[in-house]
Chain A
Amino acid sequence: MHYRRLYGAIALSLCALSVNSYARIKLISLPVREHIEIQLENKHTTIIEEERIVPLKKGRNSIDFSWQNTAIKPETIVFRVLPDTASAQSLKVNVLSVSYPPNESALTWQVSASQSGSARVRISYAIHRLEKQYHYLARVNADETAMELFQYIRVNNQSGEQFLNAGLNTGNGRPVQLSIGLNETQEYLNQQFSSVPLEKTLTVNAAAMGYRDRSQDKLNVLMHYQLHNDASHKLGKSPLAAGKYRIYQQDKQGGSVFIGEDQGQYTAVDDSQKLFIGKARDVVVRRIIERKKRKEINGNLYNMDVLVKYEIENFKNTPVTLTIEESLAYLKQESGLYDSQSFIEWQIGKDTSFKTRPLKEETSADKLVYQITLPAKRKTGQPVKVQPRLNILFNNLFSSSISRVR
């Protein structure tokens, strides 16, 4: 099958053309691509850069460039004459004008050469439908403390043109030389990291993650891997692009089991991200509102005292760290406080029994975050039940139909 299309043809008209005479009979030469690069750094726009050696005669020359059945953005075309070591000193080229014929995907550069000779030109342009995607494969060790991480790049070419021996630049990772045909997808390993330390966390959040069993007040317990993109975690060489992470874990037989996947976010060097892997079943968290008490201040002004009770059991043989997130807006709504205003005033009440303070960096006006360590289950097999309480005082509440009297 011959897939080559009439695209990107750069044609040099050798007949003595004046600026405006587009003869129907032309003798043209077709300079081939000497070098081609695909710039995939930009998230939304792919740039093609191609170099060709164009023979020029002394005086005016017309160089035609056309792109049939391809998705070039014509407004992005940049034409540059590169300094060529062989003839740079003597051959000078000026670009006089660019003409765009009607109803054609083409243009013509009018250039003027100081003498006859060959010029190395670089043509850059943005092209649609030539895209890249990142995806990752992680192999986690048995005790979930470290992993091997592989970053792959998948290039999908629906642009209408094939690229032979093209240099790929993705902004990070190793340089790659690739030939990619029409409507073809190619994938290659871009980066690989070994023994990357992992942190596993378990999190509950009634508002955002919901209940696993509402009838038993059991919350979903979400499992995350915390990934730190820095040198101390054997990463940090370049930002980690957004992409899908597929995670496998070694089993005792030396094989691997797929344990989950997540769409990872862009992670700059020295930053970190959390990957949601799945739900944990061996840690059970029950959550109920144990108390709700209205305290009148005067008139329509009142406070509300709410007590949330957690019952937590760890059925694992190892201690685990659990993050408890409480949305104050959700709790306020659960408590029947339908204030039309988004304003939430609250404070932690004296009946709170968490032994540590909330996490400073994660806590805000809308979210309260605690972290507790759960002991491993007893030798008898019975878990240790932990029952922290969270006492929230919603203050200075009043109905929205306030008096407008001044």
Chain B
Amino acid sequence: MKNLIFLLIILALLSPVLTSAKNIDLSTLPDRDAVQLTIYNAEDLTLVRETRQISIKKGRNLLQFSWANTRIDPTSVQLRFVSHPGQMVLGNTRYPHDKPQMLYWHIQSQTEALATVEISYFTSGISWQADYTAILNQSGNAMKLESFVTVTNHSGEDYSQAEIRLVLGEINLVESVNALVREADVRKEELSQRRQVKKMQLARQMLSKNSGQYYQPAPVLADAMDSEKAISKESISEYYIFSIEGRETVKNGWSKRLRSSQADAVAVDTVYRYRPREYGEQLVRVLQLHNNKDSKLGEAPLPQGTIQIYQDNKEGSLSYIAGLQFNYVAIGEKAELNTGVNPQLYFQLVNLKNWRDNIWMYYRKGKVFRRIGDGHLIVDHTATVAGWDEHRIYVQKLKNFTGKPVKVEIRRRVTGDAVIKSSLDIKKHDFQTFELQTAVAPGEQQALLYEVLIKKGRNAHQNQIVLQKKPIAYPVW
């Protein structure tokens, strides 16, 4: 499909006014010499830069550019003279009223020459995603991690032999390209739309680094042993650019997947977590890995995507562990993968015993408070409980049937004015969340005891937890 048409109309004898009215044209169709796609993953946005060679005569020239049935933002189309700078000047750009996906460039040239021009524009419909395949070794302490990028083209246009650059980061757009495409027919709004995409132009300027380097590489012999294409990574501002070596063809409707990186032995740490707010009421197995050099990674951030996790069981076979969403991981940052419940590690939270004390009564008649047990109780049937403390003893029961030592992290949230009592090494995560960690040997059973005291009614003065080191005995009934 060739929807993008670039027409060079040589109008040596006719005035521009007559040109727009004539019905018989003589045109030449210069091919693309090179094309570069800069694809953003956070937005439906791709910057296309293409170079073509056109014959320019001395004097006035008119170029027609049209993009029927594509998803190009008409306000973003720009023309630049790569060769003959200063000798050729772009005058006005005209958008004909009866042909929405078309424009005319008026060019004034001081010389007659074969000029190289660069046309750039934004299009939607081209996207890229990252995905990962991870294969854990049999002991589960390391994984082979392959990362891939997949480019998908639904722009309406084929891009052959394109240099592809993938931008990882979140840019700000005032309007989506899709919206601009839909509104392309509304001539009145075009000027304002151009102003609104100034930020896009700034982004394009930022990405102009190495912009002149995308020329056709030397042809590769068909029967030579090809290596995988390298994907170079470089940072720019708050973003990363992944550049695919050489050129790729991505036809409309097709996707193409390339390996971005591979690390054969990424160290993996396994921890089991109970965090009801994050993972629900269950103990989940979390794999942790670091995007750093120690893990044979750390060259670039790991983009957001999906990850399929397998484990090498025996004789090279794979066991499926989980398919997950993988969040962006910066260089040096830790990645966490929740692979779900391991049925071989039993976990149970049991409320063992409850009681109330420190009960205060309020007497309406005298407007006084008395505490039960202090010996100054006034017998009054209208008195009401105004404050009390609630004690709950909990046990977190763990049984490790995995055959391996495991690390367990437990995090619980308690609202109100609370005291957490235990002889365990409990730490405060935030003002109303405490956490404790333990290691459970193979075959071992553990009962982690702690007491939660919550002050109620007039006894409550704060909304935070306080930790108190105190041995808690298992209740005897």
> What residues make up the interface of A, taking CB atoms closer than 8 Å to B?
16, 18-20, 37, 39, 41-42, 45-47, 49, 57-60, 73, 75-76, 78, 82, 92, 94-103, 112-115, 122, 124, 126, 169, 171, 239, 266, 268-271, 297-301, 343-345, 348, 357-358, 360, 363-366, 368, 395-396, 398, 402-406
Contact = CB atoms under 8 A, between A and B. Distances in A.
B222 A16 contact: yes
A396 B359 contact: yes
Contacts of A358: 477
Given A47-B319, A100-B152, A122-B316, 17 more contacts: A42-B321, A57-B223, A59-B225, A75-B306, A100-B254, A101-B253, A114-B225, A115-B225, A297-B372, A300-B383, A348-B477, A395-B355, A396-B356, A403-B362, A403-B457, A405-B362, A406-B387
B388 to A, nearest CB: 7
A3 B384 CA distance: 79
B375 to A, nearest CB: 13
Given A266-B343, A403-B385, A368 B356 contact: no
Contacts of B476: 357, 360
Interface stretch (B10-18, B40-48, B256-264): B256-264
B399 interface: yes
A269 B346 CA distance: 12
Nearest to A359: B477
10 contacts: A39-B313, A47-B318, A47-B320, A73-B323, A96-B258, A97-B229, A97-B258, A99-B254, A270-B443, A300-B384
B354 A345 contact: yes
B226 interface: yes
Nearest to B377: A298
B380 A239 contact: no
B131 interface: yes
Contact of B477 (A16, A100, A126, A363): A363
A4 to B, nearest CB: 25
B294 interface: no
Nearest to B351: A365
Nearest to A242: B343
A59 B220 CA distance: 10
B256 A60 contact: no
B228 to A, nearest CB: 5
Top 8 nearest A-B pairs (CB, nearest first) are: A299-B383, A102-B253, A268-B401, A59-B223, A20-B249, A112-B226, A100-B255, A403-B384
B319 A41 contact: yes
A248 to B, nearest CB: 28
Contact of B381 (A76, A103, A299): A299
B410 interface: no
A49 B317 contact: yes
A49 B313 CA distance: 13
Contact of A271 (B228, B385, B390, B399): B399
B308 interface: yes
A16 B221 CA distance: 12
Contacts of B306: 75
B401 A271 contact: yes
Contact of B344 (A124, A239, A297): A239
Nearest to B259: A95
A403 B386 contact: yes
A78 B362 contact: no
B279 interface: no
Nearest to A39: B319
A126 B319 CA distance: 10
A39 B320 CA distance: 8
B26 interface: no
B320 A20 contact: no
B392 interface: yes
A97 B248 contact: yes
Contacts of A78: 133, 308, 310, 318
Given A365-B353, A396-B356, A41 B313 contact: yes
A243 B152 CA distance: 44
Max chain A Cβ within 10 angstroms of own Cβ: one of B256, B359, B387: B256
Given A20-B249, A298-B379, A395 B356 contact: yes
B160 interface: yes
Contact of B320 (A42, A97, A270): A42
Given A20-B251, A103-B253, A268-B344, A299 B310 contact: no
B474 interface: yes
B226 A94 contact: yes
B211 interface: no
Contact of B323 (A75, A95, A100, A266): A75
A96 B226 contact: yes
A300 B360 CA distance: 12
A100 B256 contact: yes
B227 interface: yes
Contacts of A39: 313, 317-320
Given A99-B256, A403-B386, A94 B362 contact: no
Interface string B296-325: 000000000010101001001111110100
Contacts of B356: 343, 345, 395-396
Contact of A360 (B152, B320, B393, B474): B474
A269 B401 contact: yes
Given A76-B308, A99-B256, A405-B386, A299 B380 contact: yes
Max chain B Cβ within 10 angstroms of own Cβ: one of A18, A112, A368: A112
A299 B384 contact: yes
B361 interface: yes
B257 A100 contact: yes
B315 to A, nearest CB: 9
Contact of B310 (A18, A100, A124): A124
B208 interface: no
B435 to A, nearest CB: 23
Nearest to A44: B320
B473 interface: no
Contacts of A402: 384-386, 457
B343 A239 contact: yes
B106 to A, nearest CB: 37
Contacts of B352: 364-365
Contacts of A343: 354, 356, 390, 392
Contacts of A366: 351
A336 B386 CA distance: 23
Nearest to B379: A298
B203 interface: no
B223 A58 contact: yes
A314 to B, nearest CB: 26
A73 B363 CA distance: 70
A47 B323 CA distance: 12
Contacts of B353: 365
A165 to B, nearest CB: 16
Contacts of B173: none
A185 B343 CA distance: 27
Nearest to B355: A345
Contact of A301 (B133, B221, B359, B399): B359
Interface in B336-361: 343-344, 346, 350-357, 359, 361
A175 to B, nearest CB: 10
Contact of A368 (B318, B383, B387, B477): B477
Contacts of B131: 75
Nearest to B222: A59
Contacts of A403: 362, 384-386, 457
Nearest to A406: B458
A16 B222 CA distance: 8
A376 to B, nearest CB: 29
A99 B319 contact: no
Given A59-B222, A268-B343, A96 B229 contact: yes
